[in-house]
Amino acid sequence: MFTKILIANRGEIACRVIATAKRMGIQTVAVYSEADANARHVELADEAYLLGPAASKASYLLADKIIDVAKASGAQAIHPGYGFLSENESFAKRVEEEGLVFIGPKHQAIAAMGDKIASKNLAQKAQVNTIPGHNEAIPSAAEAVEIAKRIGFPVMIKASAGGGGKGLRVAYSEAEALEGFTACQNEARNSFGDDRIFIEKFIEDPRHIEIQVLGDSHGHLIYLNERECSIQRRHQKVIEEAPSSFITEKTRAAMGEQAVALAKAVQYQSAGTVEFVVGRDQGFYFLEMNTRLQVEHPVTEAITGVDLVEWMIRIAAGERLSIEQSQVKKEGWAFECRINAEDPFRQFLPSTGRLVRFEPPKTSMRAAHPDERLGVRVDTGVEEGGEIPVYYDSMIAKLIVHAPDRLSAIEKMREALNAFAIRGIHTNIPFQAALLAHPQFIAGDFNTGFIAEHFPTGFKSEMVKHPDPGFLIALAAFVQRKTRERAKGMSGQLSGYDIQHDSELTVVELLGSGETVHHAVKYSDLPGQNQDPQGVESVIEVSAQKYDIQSHSNLNDIVIEGTLNGKPFVAQVDRNLPKNPMAIQISHAGARIVCLVLSNRTAELYRLMPIKAPPDLSKFLISPMPGLLTQVHVSAGQKVLAGEKLAVIEAMKMENVLLASADGVVKSLNAKVGESLSVDQVILEFHG
């Protein structure tokens, strides 16, 4: 067994590998960029070495420097995590050539599975189901149209070297096939330096289901059940679960056996994942093989009790896999939500900055401790006070739950999301909560087009319907009233001006449009023995509905825990809001309200207040996110037309193109190419 390994990665996956290595008594070496000098993985490792500047190509992609660090530190092996160099066959080969061990498959396997055309041909030879299509590189758009006609529409046009949604189009007609081929070829050439394109049949109502495989260097291979990864946004997974509620035991076994057959065909040694697309008839077809650890591996660990990182290390050290196929467990149900630094209410634009608060829910499971089951686990690479940089992926944490069955796992995940408090940046937690509350998701009735179908224009706060809106109003009244009660106990108040308590209040809900909704509230504390000596208990009446709320939480806590009519709840309360310090925000189950809790007389006067009109910003081009201004396509005095490209901002490995919303003439440029922009910073101004 190794005594020291280097982790050639950052963020939560670097921390995840460190956790298992520590449990195994193996020392760890971290590498980091200048942007990650104070990152959590640097703090957790036994040693840490600077690679270079923030950009990945100047740090985490420097294969030679990473190998040099490994040798200088005395590490015997390198774990690549996922992303960066994890599926780079040249890197894996170089590691072995330098006398080190690559904790992953052999470079030949990476090469065989890294090319989509070659991997599909190999899968066919291994008698793995493949989607009908043309597996050779197609030379021209005209020939692509003819091939598509022979296969039958709809077809999927894919770049051989594609990934992450790039180089991918679905065509339902000859015209779309012609246009899609050209677009895919251009994207693939620019993104991957490889413009080979192939075409295959598009499976309607598809599910994305993947099989986890594990193989050692002695020819022993097993599969560890499946993961359901159909909830995707723009081809990026959002929620994963294990097992799948869709496939039958017969389909599961058939998929597992074919995944093992493919892995055997390339003499696979490590943890790997074979991805399938599954149709509504349970017909399944090979998509690709990921020759690395997957982001969503914790859900498999939860239902099987197998530490996949541990076995990657043991297999790399030459150990035999001690698990037989018949011993693989499938116990309970697990979900994973990817917590991303992005603003779901602004088209999921990247959100960067300092983590002013980072309070994960209470955990009862830990990475690298597979014996801890049926609970909550958080895998993360960030800490409170840390900085979320613009240079890397937007995922900052993974929230994992494990429960006896699917419905209880959904409920546990919803509770955990309610308790996950992050401030300073925006996250996709409200969107995750909305997905988990959707009736079709709860019923397991979805496919890969679920998000596109139900949120075609993006995600807006009004799309989230709280199951009991009165509770949000009641909790706002409860929190504000208890704050007032504490203030009433302060000494030194002037006679006649001391704080009074009213049993009748008005909660004024502030809508985004500037309009308000007034809710009448009756408030009373429970007397006598019902009063909890350790907390507070009150009854709030909203629209003839009574809410018995009890809580032990401190009044200044963001996360409020308590009981509602005897049942536990967790919600979040924000005070001193930037745009209205008098207001409070209540968040629960993905829904949120901003409101004022007032006496009835004050509420009457508030109705008379004029609504302040928002400023006219139409003559400015404003940065919608923090990021790097990489391109400006106009100059002062230039006439532009609506829809014309104005500028490009790069943030979190994504390019965001800003277009003109109307015709106009550029008055001035207020930012320069190469400048780091803050959110709402003016890039250019038009003549009024």
- Taking the model in full, what pTM does it have? 0.86
Identify the burial level of 524 via C-beta atoms within 10 angstroms of its C-beta, where 0-12 means exposed, 13-18 middle and 19 or more buried.
Answer: exposed
Kindly report the CATH number that applies to the domain delimited by 620-686.
Answer: 2.40.50.100
Q: Which pLDDT belongs to residue 496? A: 67
Kindly provide the residue ranges of all beta strands, DSSP E only, lying in 531-681, ordered along the sequence.
536-542, 545-551, 559-564, 567-574, 584-588, 591-599, 620-622, 627-632, 639-640, 645-651, 654-659, 664-669, 676-677
| Residue 169: C-alpha distances to residues 160, 177, 200, 205, 575 (Å) | 13, 8, 11, 16, 46
Mean pLDDT per 10-residue interval, the chain, length 688 residues: 98 98 98 96 98 94 97 98 95 97 97 89 93 86 93 89 77 93 87 86 91 97 98 94 97 98 97 95 93 97 98 98 96 97 91 94 94 95 93 94 98 97 95 95 96 91 87 94 70 67 88 88 71 67 94 87 94 90 93 93 91 83 91 94 92 84 93 91 92
SS (HEC) of 528-572: HHHCCCCCEEEEEEECCEEEEEEECCCCCCCEEEEEECCEEEEEE
Task: Name the maximum alpha-carbon separation found in the chain.
Answer: 90
Q: Which positions ≥6 away from 675 have C-beta within 8 Å?
A: 628, 629
Q: Which fold has domain 469-488+501-607?
A: Glycoprotein, Type 4 Pilin (3.30.700)
Are 4-103 and 469-488+501-607 equal in CATH topology?
no
Q: Which pLDDT belongs to residue 234? A: 87
What are the domain boundaries of the chain? 4-103, 132-201, 207-453, 469-488+501-607, 620-686
User: Is 411 among the residues known to form the active site?
Assistant: no
Q: Which CATH architecture has domain 132-201?
A: 2-Layer Sandwich (3.30)
- With CA atoms as reference, report the closest residue to 426 among 378, 512, 356: 356
Q: Which of 89, 228, 288, 342 is catalytic?
A: 288
Decide if domain 4-103 falls under CATH 3.10.180.10: no
Which residue bears the tokens 């758009």?
141
Cβ–Cβ under 8 Å, residues 2 and 317: yes
- Type of residue numbered 571: A
Query: Is residue 320 classed as helix, strand or coil in its secondary structure?
Result: coil
SS (HEC) of 115-180: CHHHHHHHHHHCCCCECCEECCCCCCHHHHHHHHHHHCCCEEEEEEEEECCEEEEEECCHHHHHHH
| Residue 11: C-alpha distances to residues 335, 397, 611 (Å) | 21, 9, 45
Pick the CATH number of 207-453 from 1.10.150.120, 3.30.70.1520, 1.20.120.530, 3.30.470.20: 3.30.470.20
- With CA atoms as reference, report the closest residue to 560 among 572, 548, 578: 572
